[in-house]
Chain A
Amino acid sequence: MSKPKPHAKSDPGILRYDALSRINHWLIAISFVMLVLSGLPLFHPFFWSLTGLFGGPTMTRILHPYIGLFMTLFFVIMAIRFFKVSLIKRHDIQWLKQIKDVLSNHDERLPPVGKNNAGQKLVYWIMVLCVPLLLVTGLLIWQPYFADAIPITLRRLAAFGHAYVAFLAIITLIIHIYSGIWVKGSFTAMIRGRVSKPWAKHHHDLWYEEEMEKERKEREMSKPQHQIMTGEEPK
């Protein structure tokens, strides 16, 4: 197997998200944004004109819950797959305590972190909290399917809950999107799946070391095999 030279310009970097993760992420991202755009006009008339994006006010009302079901389905898959890398570690707490350094780009002062930093993990956990709540409260107020069967106090509670959980989710989403724009190289990570090694070392040093260790082991493994298969002596 030919291995690309690591210092060549065509350095493929490290695989961060495989194709499945990327497709999953973008299905959620697109439907989530559609949920925000179709939910906000009902949230406040400031946003009423967004109903034009969905074929009018009534269509917006009809479509929103179906998009919600679609999004939830893929969210569950992603939440399970990303569970392990999202567990909060000790260095994450330290990272959070230094959020000022994070924001002012003083990255050299930050503790090394794993595949995800505390900010990314928080986005994960907030969404893991919000999406099920949005699903349940959304179902409870869904006309014409469930709402009529729900006791009125519960409906009111659900409507209230849906609105403000959605608010929390939207703020989280804005922060999440902004991080992608702010941290150069991370957007391409979710598009093409790969990050450069310097990027990995800079932002996720522990993960980078792990990956490098893996690479080294792979190389070690492939050496003797090469000898056996070709019968060549080591140089």
Chain B
Amino acid sequence: MRGDQINLQNIVKRSATQVPSPQERDDGVETVTKLIDVSRCIGCKACQVACSEWNNLRDEVGECVGEYDNPTDLTPNTWQVMRFNEHENEQGNLEWLIRKDNCMHCAEPGCLEACPAPGAIVQYANGIVDFNSEHCIGCGYCVAGCPFDVPRISKKDSKAYKCTLCSDRVYHGLEPACVKSCPTGSIMFGTREDMLDLAETRTDFLKERGFENAGIYNPQGVGGTHVIYVLQHADEPEIYNDLPKDPRISPLVEAWKGIPKPLASVAIGLAAFAGFFHYLTAGPKETSEEEEEEVHADEERDQQSEEKRP
């Protein structure tokens, strides 16, 4: 795992920023990817625990809701959860589908696109999308931007939180905590190329075992993701707890955040200028002196005629 360091001189995308970020030091940096092989996961949640431990997250102990899902959703303190789904396949057999749900580290991240705070969300040269809480203002726009419903706003400090892909560990040449803890080898980490290769091998294996529709989940609608799944049924990702089939940044978000915004900003400036130049050319609207005289003459006449009347 050489050469995948991240540091502040190595940012390829930065929220709400028009100018390029420092990125000269990306030589030899390869993009990384986490591969989650759903077919091998046994749902032990070791990764969930490892995540909490490494990141110093201690969510409140919840209640059992009659399922294995616990906590039942991502929270500011829970950056990944195992989603359990009971699926009946075509043969009428039960399949227990267990998906580790966390930030997908999109190549084209909707969160970063929506974020209004310069530098609150960054993408490093190795592909990791990270929230910089120091710059986060708590507006919640990233939540609206994300096609996977991942970021969560803290009630304590009103800042957004999500999986960092252990950017701090990766920076020091370690794999993410979840990868390290997985007892079945269901979570793998490495260069993007290696992981895509490995995913291919696993898919072929699954196909041999009768899962004809086995495949890789690496959605192109968001430019591919740096967290990819191997799915037994890649043709219907929805059965894995509503994994979107063709995720992309919502057209509403594109319309909100896209080209109209700089245009509108310029239009606001132009409107102010237009006023100024109109004043320069047409001049102020004034009442003339003749009009003033006229009004006063009128009044005088009025008054006189009234006084004459009995």
Most chain-B Cβ atoms within 10 A of its Cβ — which of A43, A47, A160?
A: A160
B140, A199: Cβ atoms closer than 8 Å: no
Chain B: CB-nearest residue to A36: B268
B56 at the interface (CB under 8 A from A): no
Assembly CA distance A153 to B144 (angstroms): 8
B153, A143: Cβ atoms closer than 8 Å: yes
Residues on A with C-beta less than 8 A from B139 are: 42, 61, 143
A214 at the interface (CB under 8 A from B): no
B285, A216: Cβ atoms closer than 8 Å: no
A45, B116: Cβ atoms closer than 8 Å: yes
How far is the CB of A106 from the nearest CB of chain B, in Å? 10
A202, B291: Cβ atoms closer than 8 Å: yes
How far is the CB of B114 from the nearest CB of chain A, in Å? 8
Residues on A with C-beta less than 8 A from B116 are: 41-43, 45
Q: How large is the interface on A (under 10, 10 to 19, 20 to 34, 35 or more residues)?
A: 35 or more
Assembly CA distance A45 to B278 (angstroms): 28
The verdict on A61 contacting B138 (CB below 8 Å), with A41-B116, A45-B16, A182-B279 known, is: yes
Q: Which of B183-219 contact A (CB under 8 A)?
A: none
Chain B: CB-nearest residue to A195: B287
Number of interchain pairs (Cβ within 8 Å): 148
B283, A105: Cβ atoms closer than 8 Å: yes
B267, A57: Cβ atoms closer than 8 Å: no
Assembly CA distance A143 to B284 (angstroms): 45
B153, A44: Cβ atoms closer than 8 Å: no
Assembly CA distance A184 to B282 (angstroms): 13
A183 at the interface (CB under 8 A from B): yes
Residues on B with C-beta less than 8 A from A159 are: 141, 144, 252-253, 256
B260 at the interface (CB under 8 A from A): yes
Residues on B with C-beta less than 8 A from A143 are: 138-140, 153, 158
Residues on B with C-beta less than 8 A from A45 are: 16-18, 116, 118
A144, B155: Cβ atoms closer than 8 Å: yes
Residues on A with C-beta less than 8 A from B256 are: 156, 159-160, 163
Assembly CA distance A184 to B292 (angstroms): 14
Chain B contact residues, CB within 8 Å of chain A: 16-18, 116-118, 135, 137-141, 143-144, 149, 153, 155, 158, 250, 252-253, 255-256, 260-262, 264-265, 267-268, 271-272, 275, 278-279, 282-287, 291-292, 294-296, 299-300, 302-303, 306-307, 310
